[in-house]
Amino acid sequence: MRNSVPKIATALVSGLIFGLGLSLSGMLDPVRVQGFLDVFGAWDPSLAFVLGGAVVVAFLGVAVSRRLSKPVFDREFHLPGTQTIDRRLVVGSALFGIGWGIAGFCPGPAISALALGKVEVIVFVFAMVLGMVAHDRWAGQVN
């Protein structure tokens, strides 16, 4: 238990920083997100700075992780087993993008937006969890 305290504390602080960043950047506002995704209509490019910042942070994180022999709070890195672009990846990505465009939420901001207590957010998160459970049951039968 003692060794897990730094791991849990790091996860908590990281989650709080992530949620605060989502809130400050406007990612919790589905109308703003939909405006960013509407490149052929009333496009709102302001979230491009959020995307650019995320890419920089991810790039730095990958660069640092490549220099480490193992993670700081784990025994090994947990990386995807394949880099193959297959039908399941393409279909899943398309469904994610369609859902994001329709609802204006993706999972991270939706979880953060639960703190707002809005009914539409609660409905979205409920539907998202229901979809995840349905996928796991379907994928377990297919594989």
pLDDT reading at 2 higher than 70: no
Q: Where are the domains of the chain?
A: 4-142
pTM of the predicted model, to two decimals? 0.72
**Share above pLDDT 90 across residues of the chain, in percent, rounded to a whole number:** 34
Q: Which amino acid is at 79?
A: L
Mean per-residue pLDDT over the chain, rounded: 88
DSSP the chain: -TTHHHHHHHHHHHHHHHHHHHHHHTTT-HHHHHHHH-TTSS--TTHHHHHHHHHHHHHHHHHHHHH-SS-TTSSS----S-----HHHHHHHHHHHHHHHHHS--HHHHHHHGGGT-HHHHHHHHHHHHHHHHHHHHHHHH-
Residue 56 has φ and ψ, to the nearest 5°, of: -65, -45
Q: How confident is the model at residue 141 (pLDDT cuts 50, 70, 90)?
A: low
pLDDT reading at 13 higher than 90: yes
